[in-house]
Structure 1
Amino acid sequence: MTKPFIVCYMMTTIDGRIECAMLEKLKGGDAYESIITDELRTPSTLVGRVTAELEMATGKFKPTATPEPLGKQGFSKKVDAVHGYDIIVDTKGTLLWDKENEKPYLIITGEQVSKEYLAYLDSKNISWIACGEKTINLAKAVEILANEFKIDRLAVVGGTAINTAFLEAGLLDEISILIGPGIDGRKGFSPLFDGRATDKDPIQLKLKDVKKYDDGAVLISYTV
């Protein structure tokens, strides 16, 4: 299968929590963005719906009629992104977007997405991919990213559900974690990965590199 080289990249506390408001209070965050471009060389990044709704989207899409699903696989490429895409996984097509963004948006949905929502994306000149009858076929989606959108390196940057989905699908090549020098420890906040079946064995990793920063943060990279 043709696909990009895919890195799961997150900043965490030392207990593996990824809640942004807590991480913003820790040292180490200044290096986060530069690591994406300089260390990982992944100009295109991908987030799940929950993260996108909290940090990127401008609201929720409200259909004006009874939704008619697309009902088939398809994609629409609006622009060639020289400096990468901001990719959002939004299975049912629920989020609204500003037309202006530093990098072009690319929305990945399932085939049950409504034609009305895709028309909305078209009106905003936003590229999209639809694949998977009930849930998104991530393997097919990343194949389209490689073949049609010419993405050769991709960073999956959260949250927990999308990180775990890529892990379970066997699509991650590397996991890189920027560990901030602090502990969260609060009950009920999401870790880096979660939701695997309780009868599964651990996924074995191979240490690739460790880099220390003067502010106490550590970047640890593993080959999957």
Structure 2
Amino acid sequence: MSKPYIICHMMMSVDGRIACSMTAQLEGQNEYYSALDAIDATTRISGRVTAATEMTSGQTFQAKGGRAYGKNGFAKQTNATGYNIVMDTNGTLLWENEHEAPKPHLIIMSQKVSRDYIEYLNGQGISWIVAGKDHIDLRKAMDILATEFHVKRLAIVGGGKINGGFLDAGLIDELSILIGPGADGRSTEPSLFDGRPADRKPIALKLKSTKAYPDGAVWLRYLIK
């Protein structure tokens, strides 16, 4: 299997919470984005919820026929140097037309996505990957991303479940954490990694580097052992 070098880059509170509305209130926001530039990953992955709130109007696609695509596949609409990748299992989000976009979106979905939605993405000039029957097959999707889209390096900037899914699949090479000087403590809020099965063991890490900032933020980088 081929795959890009994958870095999970996130900002969190000292207790590991990652809700954007909370971390936006902490010192360290500027350092988070400068660190994101420093890790040199022009292709970035977000989840559907993050994309709905930060990248789209939040409106959803209404399929007419309802027939599922039902197979793995992909469409490369442009030769881009980097992509804004969105994991959208069932194919739900509406997008602007992206012909000639300098950094286009690429949507990754499961085979449950409707044929109507695939046609919609093609019409909008948006690249896509379908991998996995009922859920996105992350390993297959990353293989297609490396071999067909020639992505060599990417950053996961999504939510706890996406982070947890990539971690559990053994796909993350490096963890990059910007810790803001603050505590959240709300048990209902997402954490850095969520959703791994209860019988899993902890993933061992090797410290790569640390950097402290005058405002109290700390940047930690780990390699996955």
Aligned equivalents of 2:187, 2:139: Cα separation in 1: 34
2:11 maps to 1:35? no
2:143 maps to 1:133? no
Aligned equivalents of 1:90, 1:5: Cα separation in 2: 21
2:80 maps to 1:81? yes
Structure 1 segments, 4+ long, off by >6 Å, are none
CA contact (8 A) 1:36 1:43 kept: no
* Counterpart secondary structure, 1:207: strand
Aligned equivalents of 1:218, 1:185: Cα separation in 2: 19
Choose 185-194 or 196-205, whichever is displaced more: 196-205
- Structure 2: unaligned runs, 5 residues or longer: none
Residue of structure 1 in register with 2:94 after alignment: 96
* Counterpart secondary structure, 2:116: helix
CA root-mean-square deviation: 1.3
For 1:48-197, what aligned pairs fall within 5 Å after superposition? 48-58=47-57, 59-63=59-63, 65-82=64-81, 84-99=82-97, 103-197=103-197
TM-superposed CA distance for 1:102, in Å, is: 5.6
2:207 maps to 1:207? yes
2:133 corresponds to which letter in structure 1? E
* Counterpart secondary structure, 1:116: helix
2:52 corresponds to which letter in structure 1? E
The normalised TM-score by structure 2 is 0.94
Choose 10-19 or 198-207, whichever is displaced more: 198-207
1:117 corresponds to which letter in structure 2? Y
The normalised TM-score by structure 1 is 0.95
* Counterpart secondary structure, 1:95: coil
Aligned equivalents of 2:113, 2:199: Cα separation in 1: 33
TM-superposed CA distance for 1:50, in Å, is: 1.7
- Structure 1: unaligned runs, 5 residues or longer: none
Q: Percent identity?
A: 50
* Counterpart secondary structure, 2:26: coil
2:69 corresponds to which letter in structure 1? L
Q: How many residues align?
A: 221
2:54 corresponds to which letter in structure 1? E
2:83 corresponds to which letter in structure 1? Y
* Counterpart secondary structure, 1:96: coil
TM-superposed CA distance for 1:37, in Å, is: 2.1
Aligned equivalents of 2:33, 2:83: Cα separation in 1: 15
